[in-house]
Amino acid sequence: QVQLVESGGDMVQPGGSLRLSCAASGFTFSSYNMSWVRQAPGKGHEWISGINTDGSSTYYSDSVKGRFTISRDNAKNTLYLQMDNLKFDDTGAYYCARVGWRRHRDEHDYWGPGTQVTVSS
């Protein structure tokens, strides 16, 4: 029932920009904190950004801080990730994920299938 579907991934040149979207359905989107997680080729999952329920608080890993911006539109049940000044190391699969409720807040209980971002010259 819960579904998260990412879109917007593409191949871009270093220094370029992309905006990823995540369409959510099957739950009350505005009641959940959300995250973006990525996986570089041959690497493990790396949490890169999070946002609280109304979008008033945002969080970033050191790897993307200052370059990426997370946001959400609760009226559209959509999560966004604006990515600027992309670098080769940003290449990978990008996933949106739902943060668990209450005692499960340290977990991501639902994930989208991912969208591919490739930064190449």
Encode pLDDT of 41-100 as tens digits.
999 999 999 999 999 999 999 999 999 999 999 999 999 999 999 999 999 999 999 999
Q: What is the DSSP letter of 39?
A: E
- 3-state SS, residue 85: coil
Tell me: pLDDT of 104 over 90: no
Tell me: pLDDT of 106 over 90: no
- Cβ neighbors of 109 (< 8 A, separation 6 or more) are 98, 99, 100
- 3-state SS, residue 62: coil
- Counting other chains too, the contacts that 64-68 makes at CB distance below 8 Å and 24 or more residues apart are 64/90
Q: Give the closest residue to 87 by CA, choosing from 109, 70, 68.
A: 68
